[in-house]
Structure 1
Amino acid sequence: MLHSFVTKMTKTAAAVLCFVSAGTFVSAQDLTSVRLSSLLGEFSTEVQEIPSVQLAFLTTIPSPADRDIQTVPRDLYDREKIAAMPEATGGSQWECLAEALYFEARGESVRGMFAVGEVILNRVDSARFPDTVCDVVNQGTGRRYACQFTYTCDGHAEVISEPRAWERVGKIARLLIDGAPRELTNGATHYHTRAVNPSWARVFTRTAAIDSHLFYRQPVRTASNG
């Protein structure tokens, strides 16, 4: 029943957004209230089981400003536009992503840096990998041949010696964490440089080739292939 409620709620919100965006001069709040009042009446018992925070999220139509955040700027991968952005900051997850981009991709184009970031965030979203950026980046670190990102186990200290490159990757990490589209690698969860040829690359699906990296998506497990 909860699934049915969420499904109907999603359809209602979508209908409201389409109605308003079509240019009909009606209050989105008024229209939403009518639709939701009817819908909530159908699921009065189930609604009581939903935490108030989740219910508020489900029943709130995003403002135009919020929806604009999802708009993909045409110059997202323009190095000069990135340079003009204010310096980025963030917490530990932002720092882990920025550090990975610095050591894995700072010599790549902006697209190449975004692509590496996509792989890390695709792993965060995958049930096959840890569920935080820092845990993904540091998975296997300290175990011989087990680290996922070479810089975490190459025996060298992670020293940021190029301030401008650090500032650039910090901005890209911020954009990715804040929801920039992942449209470059088609869901890739792995990559390697063109200088190497790992055994897994023969069985994974190649999804993109950007700068010095080749990107791959891990095959989906099924009952037949284990």
Structure 2
Amino acid sequence: MRQFNNAMLRAIVAAVALASLAGCGIAGMNLGMGRLSEKECMMRAMYFESNRSSAEGMLAVGTVVMNRLNDPRYPKSVCGVVGQKNQFAQGVLTRPMTDSGAVLASRVADQVLSGARHPGVQAAQHFHTAGLRFPYNNMFYVLEAGGNEFYEKRRVR
């Protein structure tokens, strides 16, 4: 039985190595580490920007990404939006996702890319860490979720 287990382990390791060389993916992630898929960019934004155990927080972050994607002032791809300088967590597109939060992020990314949106986010395109408040009169807070405060920037009359 021990020989069978070692042989199976070697076969699994070989299969994973071949899949990564071929650019195949698991849970929507490109193991070849070439160009990132739209799903992986979305996963990474949600994983690094929200409480990794909060599907609601991940959905809210994903909604902000999609709100920006639909605005002509922002890039026209999920990866372009997430990769914008000084907009999301440093290293969001390069740091490893190391815990089970990646599985949740994969599931929620599928939902967002299929049209799901957090209704509380409304038209918000911005968020910051919960508990912080800034004195600017153009920030209209709409939701707190996943450790973040989501807000719209509105013109002050």
Q: TM-score, normalised by structure 2?
A: 0.68
> Are 1:93 and 2:93 an aligned pair?
no
1:116-152 CA-partner distances (Å, limit 9, x unpaired): 1111110001122111110111112xxxxxx101233
Q: Which runs of 5+ in 1 are unaligned?
A: 1-86, 141-146
Distance in 2 (alpha carbons) for counterparts of 1:117 and 1:93: 12
Aligned partner of 1:159 in structure 2 is 96
1:169/1:195 CA distance change after superposition, 3 Å? same
1:149/1:181 CA distance change after superposition, 3 Å? closer
CA contact (8 A) 2:127 2:148 kept: yes
1:111/1:190 CA distance change after superposition, 3 Å? same
Higher helix share: 1
SS of 1:122 mapped into structure 2: helix
Q: Report the Cα offset of residue 104 of structure 1.
A: 1.1
Q: Report the Cα offset of residue 159 of structure 1.
A: 1.5
2:148 to 208, 213, 217: 213
CA contact (8 A) 2:144 2:150 kept: yes
Q: Which runs of 5+ in 2 are unaligned?
A: 1-25, 30-35
> Are 1:176 and 2:112 an aligned pair?
yes
Q: Which amino acid aligns with 1:95?
A: E
1:150/1:196 CA distance change after superposition, 3 Å? farther
- Give the structure with higher Rg (CA): 1
Q: Report the Cα offset of residue 93 of structure 1.
A: 0.6
Q: Which amino acid aligns with 1:161?
A: T
Distance in 1 (alpha carbons) for counterparts of 2:142 and 2:133: 16
The sequence identity of aligned pairs, in percent, is 28
Higher strand share: 2
Q: Report the Cα offset of residue 184 of structure 1.
A: 2.5
> Are 1:134 and 2:97 an aligned pair?
no
1:37-67 CA-partner distances (Å, limit 9, x unpaired): xxxxxxxxxxxxxxxxxxxxxxxxxxxxxxx
Aligned partner of 1:107 in structure 2 is 52
Distance in 2 (alpha carbons) for counterparts of 1:197 and 1:89: 36
Distance in 1 (alpha carbons) for counterparts of 2:126 and 2:63: 10
CA contact (8 A) 2:59 2:117 kept: no
> Are 1:124 and 2:69 an aligned pair?
yes
Aligned partner of 1:62 in structure 2 is none
CA contact (8 A) 1:106 1:169 kept: no
Q: Which amino acid aligns with 1:89?
A: G
1:117/1:158 CA distance change after superposition, 3 Å? same
Q: Which amino acid aligns with 1:169?
A: A
What is the Cα-based RMSD across aligned positions, in Å? 2.6
CA contact (8 A) 2:51 2:147 kept: no
